[in-house]
């Protein structure tokens, strides 16, 4: 649905090339089929035209309500349909969330993402959730939430409370979606994203690869995202984390280069979006992550847990940043010396501890 609040940056990329919203399957497939080096070169060019290639945006994710979700997403340990032994937890108290946000801020995060395993928030949950947004926002952090489906009123209430981003992933192509989730439809997902846009919030939407889908499904997912009237500002590309007890725990591994290709094609199709190297980093070595950054990924989650699965510890991330000469992206809308100082101090601490070659020096 067209949105009157399209940011100016969405009408043209900084290289003055018009952003496209009309990609067809053949064009996207042709990008995936490029020789790897050609694809990487093209993605790097697009990336450098639109971003500082050595900056990566850093977010921290907190599960504010864990498990017992009524949806049947086949990849998810939080689904009540999947017997993974995960212990369900009730909605966290607001002050506990604030403490976690403070820790994240001190560790250098610029955005604090709060996730709840719900089909949708209930009316009685909304006051607590809105208070979390107000308090975290007041700390000078960007705010993001993922709470399941939203109606228009809920989206507006979150926007009014100061929520910057709402995450709602499309997961996969429309064609493969029914093999992964049956308790809601693709159109439900698109409707929530429209409600988020209409409320004036930024959209975080991406998907998961390695779920047994084929290339055509990866093409279809990126086509859906890239042909939205406004590209999602944040595009998380997740590698499936196979959790025992989920229906996908035995699915074949995805060829790692196919994952890198997915990042690169996302970068080319959505030049001004932050493409997030998201779940699955724990299983990637440093070289693989570096390839993803070269392919145009410029956002990560930072911290030890990614909702309910492991994420590389913050120290290891900082060490990798140092090796690659990558800097955490500063928030553009807030001048916060304490925040920048925390990032610089954290990087200095790691430099002092490491004896490896420092590409950033």
Catalytic residue IDs: 69, 73, 76, 113, 144, 204, 276
Q: How far is the CB of 102 from ligand SF4 (least distance, A)?
A: 25
Between 69 and 320, CB nearer to ligand SF4: 69
Taking the C-alpha atoms of residue 159 and residue 157, their distance in angstroms, rounded to an integer, is 5
**Given the complex with ligand SF4, which of 148 and 220 has the nearer CB atom?**
148
Q: At its nearest, how many Å lie between ligand SF4 and the CB of residue 267?
A: 25
Bridge partners of 56?
328
Residue among 88 and 138 whose Cβ is closer to ligand SF4? 88
The residue (of 147 and 263) whose beta carbon lies closer to ligand SF4 is 147
Instruction: Report how many residues bind ligand SF4 under the rule CB under 6 A.
Output: 8
Provide, rounded to whole angstroms, the least separation between the CB of residue 312 and ligand SF4.
21
Q: Where are the alpha helices (DSSP H) in the chain?
A: 25-32, 36-50, 94-106, 126-138, 152-161, 174-180, 186-198, 215-226, 256-269, 286-294, 314-324, 337-353
Separation CA 100–CA 111 (nearest Å): 12
* Stretch 134-153 residues interacting with ligand SF4 (CB under 6 A): 148
CB of 78 to ligand SF4, least distance (A): 4
Closest by Cα among 61, 120, 125 to 90: 125
Nearer to ligand SF4, 77 or 328 (CB): 77
Token digits of residue 298: 């410029």
Q: Which of residues 66-125 bind ligand SF4 (CB under 6 A)?
A: 69, 71, 73, 76, 78-79, 117
**Rounded to an integer, what distance in angstroms lies between the CA atom of residue 332 and that of residue 335?**
8
CB of 72 to ligand SF4, least distance (A): 7
What tokens appear for 326 in the block?
A: 């990558």
Stretch that binds ligand SF4, among 65-73, 219-227, 233-241, 337-345 (CB under 6 A): 65-73
List, in sequence order, every residue forming a beta bridge with 55; answer none if it has no partner.
327
Query: CB neighbours (10 Å) of residue 216?
Result: 15
Considering the rule CB under 6 A, would residue 314 count as an interface residue with ligand SF4? no
* Cα gap 145→92, rounded to integer Å: 14
In the complex, the residues that contact ligand SF4 under the rule CB under 6 A are 69, 71, 73, 76, 78-79, 117, 148
């Amino acid at each position: 649905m067209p949105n009157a609040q399209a940011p100016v940056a969405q009408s043209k990329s900084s290289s003055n090339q018009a952003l496209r919203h009309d990609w067809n399957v053949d064009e996207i497939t042709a990008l995936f089929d490029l020789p790897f080096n050609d694809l990487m070169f093209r993605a790097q060019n697009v990336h450098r035209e639109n971003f500082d290639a050595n900056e990566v945006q850093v977010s921290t994710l907190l599960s504010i309500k864990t498990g017992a979700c009524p949806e049947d997403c086949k990849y998810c340990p939080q689904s009540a349909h999947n017997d993974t032994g995960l212990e369900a937890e009730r909605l966290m108290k607001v002050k506990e969330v604030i403490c976690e946000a403070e820790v994240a801020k001190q560790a250098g995060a610029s955005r604090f993402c709060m996730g709840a395993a719900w089909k949708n928030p209930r009316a009685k949950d909304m006051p607590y959730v809105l208070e979390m947004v107000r308090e975290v926002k007041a700390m000078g952090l960007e705010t993001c939430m993922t709470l399941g489906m939203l109606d228009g009123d809920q989206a507006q209430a979150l926007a009014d409370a100061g929520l910057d981003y709402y995450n709602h992933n499309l997961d996969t192509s429309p064609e493969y979606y029914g093999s992964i989730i049956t308790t809601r439809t693709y159109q439900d997902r698109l409707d929530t994203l429209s409600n988020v846009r209409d409320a004036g919030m930024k959209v975080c939407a991406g998907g998961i690869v390695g779920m047994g889908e084929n290339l055509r499904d990866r093409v279809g997912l990126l086509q859906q995202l890239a042909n939205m009237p406004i590209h999602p500002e944040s595009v998380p590309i997740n590698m499936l984390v196979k959790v025992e007890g989920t229906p996908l725990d035995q699915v074949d591994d995805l060829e790692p280069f196919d994952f890198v290709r997915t990042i690169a094609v996302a970068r080319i199709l959505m030049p001004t979006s932050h493409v997030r190297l998201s779940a699955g980093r724990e299983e990637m070595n440093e070289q693989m992550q570096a390839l993803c950054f070269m392919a145009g990924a410029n956002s990560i989650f930072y911290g030890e847990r990614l909702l309910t699965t492991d994420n590389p510890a913050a120290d290891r991330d900082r060490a990798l940043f140092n090796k690659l000469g990558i800097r955490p992206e500063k928030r553009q809308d807030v001048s916060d010396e304490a925040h920048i100082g925390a990032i610089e101090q954290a990087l200095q601490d790691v430099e002092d501890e490491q004896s490896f070659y420092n590409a950033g020096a």
